[in-house]
Structure 1
């Protein structure tokens, strides 16, 4: 499918953010996906994912975290991201600013939007849900931070999360805390554990220094992408009619 792409600048977190908007051909209203990057920031990896979603028929916005910068130096990235991750108000501000851009696109169906993110971007997607934003689905890879007490009850859509079993950042304790938060809040949630995968297993190899415990896993990267597409197919179908029931469940 032919797609159109454009760069969009918008303010957030005291910075001028640079997002990547991808649209399928046509003029009709379409369901839309907000796509958040890892803590290093928006790169061609996320732009290609947004383009792939547009090729399927979704409107997709890959949003920015760092004012147009990609933070390949781990220390610089941590210096920027750790205070951000400790401040739900700032994360929600970044998420809402990007969501406003996506909703402002004339072809976006404002009642059919999902938020998908990786690492920091995934945590921001979760924070939008905890803030009560009307989303059709939330998907997060490597981003399982728990929120403030009681706020998960404001999540109004299914939540899917994926994490590597050998991820030292998203430890078993962190996974259990996330599961407890979602279950206590009555959220429709799923957690996929990818055996043998480390942190950022979905991200292709990079040409700069990375922290220990970070590594690409090609097989699980492909599986995680398919799992995200399955989430969108279920919760954000490209037609307004839901999928037919499975006869085996009748």
Structure 2
């Protein structure tokens, strides 16, 4: 069977030239697609491998960029870039929409069958696309339970799955409660999984990075969260055999 194929795609967003990683499944026909958002530091081999794994499952997958091709190893530099983004829903939506347009324009993509899944800041982007009314079949967010303009959650037109570590000081219980209330009040089909003992960014192995307090990798829950994401896609965006 032919292998997954990949290529780098460049596109403009947020005044930058974004550098995404596109992974295509074997074959030549149209397939359901997944827009894949990275953690705050940006696109690294971790996200590229996630996109490749999704392509192996039969999905067209685009790991989209947040920082114009830059990957932060210094968390303080990362926060200086990310914090203003997280406080500006319109910028998050613009970054997500630019990537979604690239994915939807890929000839292998079935434009009627797209999901958005993100980690951390990338998860916030996925949620903001939903709040903006993007035509998505599912939204998954891990550690990205941001709230901004809660009334706009009524624009979400698909199931939402969220995962968070129980010991995450950034996505603390108050933030989780606010997210749950927002989804419930908007009538969204939503789920929240709390992974016991996990810190913030539990899903991302530490690779040549300084780590902030409250951040830590949890290999077991990272694998469980991945299986939960794959389960969401299998439910909402099944791949035809």
- Verify same fold: TM over 0.5: yes
Which residue matches 1:13?
14
Q: 1 CA distance for matches of 2:40 and 2:78?
A: 7
Which residue matches 2:168?
167
Pair 1:113-2:114 in alignment: yes
Which runs of 5 or more residues in structure 1 are unaligned? 241-250
Which runs of 5 or more residues in structure 2 are unaligned? none
Structure of larger gyration radius: 1
1:206 Cα deviation from its structure 2 partner: 2.1
Q: 1 CA distance for matches of 2:218 and 2:56?
A: 25
Q: 2 CA distance for matches of 1:84 and 1:193?
A: 25
TM-score normalised by structure 2 residue count: 0.98
- Equivalent positions of 1:58-77 (< 5 A) are 58-77=59-78
Which residue matches 2:132?
131
CA contact (8 A) 1:40 1:70 kept: yes
Which residue matches 1:211?
212
- Equivalent positions of 1:1-250 (< 5 A) are 2-239=3-240
Size of the aligned set, in residue pairs, is 240
1:208 Cα deviation from its structure 2 partner: 1.9
Q: 1 CA distance for matches of 2:93 and 2:151?
A: 16
Q: 2 CA distance for matches of 1:149 and 1:69?
A: 31
Q: 1 CA distance for matches of 2:110 and 2:227?
A: 23
Runs of 4 or more, structure 1, over 3 Å off, are none
Q: 1 CA distance for matches of 2:205 and 2:170?
A: 18
1:147 Cα deviation from its structure 2 partner: 2.6
Q: Deviations over 1:100-144 (max 9, x none)?
A: 110110110000000000000000000000000010000000000
TM-score normalised by structure 1 residue count: 0.95
